[in-house]
């Protein structure tokens, strides 16, 4: 049996979470068009007759480290390359950007087999552009394979899975065959709430909020979730709540629906918005909010 860890890496907002969700055929990672939506390393486990692939969705690798949150995201992305068997580097177009030079350096140091997956190929009208880029990419790095994909439309994902499986070592399965992630339902509930907030708020509060589950009660016929939305300023609190509480109500309805689908049970969801000044630039605050060791 083949079994191993596969790191999904790339710049922010190239479609890593969408790719993992479509490979698993189930939503594990939250998605949004805004960069830095993914803040934690999340495992997605796919077990088939051929083997077990353990995908690691990571925050995007980016240059800015101005805040403690940025440093945490970069560190999480960097440490993902430790202990994996295969790397899938996802691009969102057939071209390398300036910061991709940093990724080249990280990959050279890691010395791992790398598959280059070029996402959103359905948007590339001139296929000769793809062919020219593939030639350029092969000259830049000894990629194990270069595969054009569309994560959203599941284009060429079976080819990607075949390429990944061929590079994995022979090993017994690490996780039970019915397990699909290493994260708890409590964690996933917080991520779902944050996704709905990010989507509803547009550009008004890009990264100034996070979600903490204060209480998670699993009862026989209903699960009760009590969550705090943390922001950095009072003005941001008013934006999240919205006029007469309408925005927060809509977020609650959207999130409750997805949490019910996730756990297959009726959910009661209560949301509060509170202010923790400067939380994204305080390592102590990040640790208290569940961002792990820094």
pLDDT of residue 294 exceeding 50, the answer is no
Here the tokens at position 37 are 């939506």
83 and 153 share one domain: yes
6 and 131 share one domain: yes
156 and 189 share one domain: no
3-state secondary structure of 31: coil
Domain end, chosen from 167, 193, 211, is at 167
Domain end, chosen from 167, 198, 226, is at 167
The rounded distance, in Å, linking the Cα atoms of 189 and 260 is: 10
The domain that holds 257 is classified in CATH as: 3.30.300.20
Task: Please give the residue range of the domain that contains residue 20.
Answer: 2-167
Find the range with the poorest average confidence among 16-20, 24-28, 170-174. 24-28
Per-chain mean pLDDT for the chain: 84
Q: Give strand pairing partners of 275.
A: 231
The domain that holds 69 is classified in CATH as: 3.40.50.300
Here the tokens at position 51 are 């083997």
The rounded distance, in Å, linking the Cα atoms of 91 and 246 is: 38
Q: How many domains does the chain have?
A: 2
Residue 10 DSSP symbol: -
Query: Which residues have C-beta within 8 Å of that of residue 237, sequence separation ≥ 6?
Result: 231, 273, 274, 275
Question: In this structure, is residue 22 part of a structural domain?
Answer: yes
135 and 209 share one domain: no
Q: Give strand pairing partners of 88.
A: 8, 115
Question: In this structure, is residue 176 part of a structural domain?
Answer: no
Reference 6, options 18, 22, 20; nearest CA is: 20
The rounded distance, in Å, linking the Cα atoms of 38 and 60 is: 7
The rounded distance, in Å, linking the Cα atoms of 269 and 146 is: 44
pLDDT 10s digits, 109-149:
888 999 999 998 888 888 888 999 999 999 999 999 999 99
Question: In this structure, is residue 78 part of a structural domain?
Answer: yes
The rounded distance, in Å, linking the Cα atoms of 58 and 29 is: 10
Question: In this structure, is residue 28 part of a structural domain?
Answer: yes
Find the range with the poorest average confidence among 2-11, 226-235, 284-293. 284-293
60 and 139 share one domain: yes
The rounded distance, in Å, linking the Cα atoms of 118 and 140 is: 15
| pLDDT score, position 157 | 94
């Amino acid at each position: 049996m083949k079994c191993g860890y596969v790191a999904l890496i790339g710049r922010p907002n190239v479609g890593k979470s969408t790719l993992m969700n479509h490979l698993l055929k189930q939503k594990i990672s939250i998605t949004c068009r805004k960069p830095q939506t993914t803040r934690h390393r999340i495992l997605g486990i796919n077990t088939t007759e051929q083997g077990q692939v353990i995908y690691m969705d990571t925050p995007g690798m980016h240059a800015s480290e101005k805040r403690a949150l940025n440093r945490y995201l970069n560190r999480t992305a960097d440490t993902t390359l430790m202990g994996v068997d295969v790397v899938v580097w996802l691009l969102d177009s057939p071209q390398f950007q300036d910061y991709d030079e940093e990724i080249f350096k990280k990959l050279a140091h890691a010395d791992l087999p790398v598959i280059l997956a070029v996402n959103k190929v359905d948007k590339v009208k001139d296929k000769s552009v793809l062919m020219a880029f593939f030639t350029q990419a092969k000259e830049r790095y000894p990629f194990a394979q270069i595969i054009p994909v569309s994560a959203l439309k599941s284009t060429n994902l079976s080819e990607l899975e075949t390429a990944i499986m061929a590079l994995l070592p022979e090993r017994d399965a690490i996780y039970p065959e019915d397990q699909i992630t290493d994260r708890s339902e409590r964690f996933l509930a917080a991520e779902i709430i944050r996704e709905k907030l990010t989507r509803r708020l547009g550009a008004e509060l890009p990264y100034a909020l996070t979600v903490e589950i204060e209480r998670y009660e699993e009862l026989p016929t209903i699960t009760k979730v009590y969550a705090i939305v943390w922001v950095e300023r009072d003005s941001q609190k008013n934006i999240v709540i919205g006029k007469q509480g309408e925005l927060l109500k809509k977020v609650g309805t959207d999130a409750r629906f997805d949490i019910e689908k996730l756990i297959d049970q009726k959910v009661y969801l209560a949301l509060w918005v509170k202010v923790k000044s400067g939380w994204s630039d305080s390592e102590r605050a990040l640790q208290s909010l569940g961002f792990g060791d820094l």
